[in-house]
Structure 1
Amino acid sequence: MKKRNAFIAALAIGLTTLVSPAAVLAQPATTPEAPAPTAETVQLNSDTAVTHGLANKYVPNDFNVALGLCPAPGSEKAPTSTTFSSPVLSFTNYAFNPTMGVKANVTADAELKPGTGAGSYQITMNCNGKSFNATFTVPGSVEQQVRKVPEGAARAGDGSTAR
């Protein structure tokens, strides 16, 4: 019985030490939170539900689009002064409305300038007086890829007569 009482007393002292006010108040040191990233973003192309690996990659012989998020104060739309620039891309057909599936509210068609070689290049979005940059890649041998179906090449049907 003495051993049991001694064990219970030791257990009570141990628990009191663990749950003492000093132990409760001792909190692990916290680090200050990192500042929230700005809302503005820019990129070339975007991944889709079907195709992955498109973001910030130029796709030869396909539709390419510059995407940006440039919020106008108090609006979901981008200011019409928002522009894209790049040393190797030209931009047309700007649209200044929110998009579905991608956090962007300004888009423009992007066309690779002739003679551009493979490599990494910069795309810049000028938004509300500030510049935001991203890097995209152009795959090798863009100029050497087939741009037109050769004459006499076999053509598949559209599947409309399949049963």
Structure 2
Amino acid sequence: MAIGAVVLAGPATGFAQQPRPEPGGVTVQLNDDTAYELGLVGKYVHGDFNVALAQCPGDGLKAPKSTTFSSPVLSIGKYDYGPLIGVPANISAEVTLKEGTAPGSYPLTVNCNGKSYTATFSVPPRQVNAVPAGAAHAGDGSMSS
């Protein structure tokens, strides 16, 4: 199995990082930056919508129906084979992190026209969203002078 590495372009001032196409115009990445939030490319976001994206030459603007994603730590579903507005991709799929996945770097592979192309994405540690039981609580300010 041939595996090509996708290299992310360096950041340009005011612009999102985008992957550089492999020979043949193929790219693969997890998530994409938005107008509201930068730094999403190549990172799994806990508690939010995550999507695998790829550009795979196919029939006109659409990726071939044989195009698939794979990753050892992601469950992948709900494929969309069509061009996306504002994102250099013509295939996307919803992804969720498999239970018990440790923080670290993992591969995301797209099988495009019989060849595999792989990018790496990171899974950050989960942040604590609730105050642990028995933790000290700050006052409401009613006793301040």
Q: What TM-score do the two structures reach when normalised by structure 2?
A: 0.71
SS for the counterpart of 1:78 is coil
Hey, what does 2:94 align to over in structure 1? 109
SS for the counterpart of 1:135 is strand
> 1:49 Cα shift?
1.0
Identity of aligned residues (%): 57
Hey, what does 1:43 align to over in structure 2? 29
Q: Which runs of 4+ in 1 moved over 4 A?
A: none
SS for the counterpart of 2:29 is strand
- Kindly indicate which of the two structures has a greater share of residues assigned to strand: 2
RMSD: 1.6
- Alpha carbons 2:51, 2:95 under 8 Å: kept: yes
Hey, what does 1:54 align to over in structure 2? 40
Q: Number of aligned residue pairs: give it.
A: 109
Hey, what does 1:69 align to over in structure 2? 55
Separation in structure 2 between the aligned mates of residue 133 and residue 42 of structure 1, nearest angstrom: 7
Question: What's the CA shift string for 1:45-82, capped at 9, x where partnerless?
Answer: 0001110000000000000000000111x511001110
Structure 1 unmatched ranges of 5 or more:
1-35, 148-163
Hey, what does 1:123 align to over in structure 2? 108
The letter for the 1-side match of 2:38 is H
- Alpha carbons 2:26, 2:56 under 8 Å: kept: yes
Question: What's the CA shift string for 1:14-51, capped at 9, x where partnerless?
Answer: xxxxxxxxxxxxxxxxxxxxxx8431000000001110
- When residues 71 and 145 of structure 1 are mapped into structure 2, their CA distance, relative to the original with a 3 A threshold, is farther
Separation in structure 1 between the aligned mates of residue 122 and residue 128 of structure 2, nearest angstrom: 16
Structure 2 unmatched ranges of 5 or more:
1-21, 131-145
Question: What's the CA shift string for 1:104-147, capped at 9, x where partnerless?
Answer: 0000001000000000000000000000100000001x2x6449
Q: Which has the larger radius of gyration?
A: 1
